[in-house]
Amino acid sequence: RMGENPKSVEQRIRRTAAAGMANLAVRGLEDYADPVFNEYAARLYSSEQIRREMNYIRGRSEQHGNVRVRRFLGGLLECCREA
C-alpha cells in the first residue's frame, strides 16, 4: 500500500503533520483557549514541540517543532475512534 518507497510516504506524512503543527501553533498564538487548539495539539503533538513551534513563529527561536510520526498517527487513530 505504501508504494515502491515507504520512506517517501513517511516523509509526506511528516510534511503534512508539520504543516498541521504550524497551523495549530498559529491558533494557539491567537487564542490559547481555542477549543480546536486544546483538543488536537495535545493529542497529535507533544506540548514541548508545540511551544517550540510557537516560539519559532514569534521569532524567539530558530528551530521549528519536531514531528513524531508515530505519535501523530496514534493521535489520529484515537480521534477517529471517538468520532
Residue type, 74: G
Q: What is the pTM of this model?
A: 0.87
Report whether pLDDT(1) > 60: no
Look-up: residue for cell 519559532?
A: 56
C-alpha cell belonging to residue 28: 494557539
The answer to whether 65 and 56 are in contact (CB under 8 A) is yes
Nearby residues of 55 by Cβ (< 8 Å), 6 or more positions away: 61
pLDDT, one tens digit per residue, over 9-50 is 889 999 999 999 999 999 999 998 999 999 999 999 999 999
Per-residue pLDDT, 7? 87
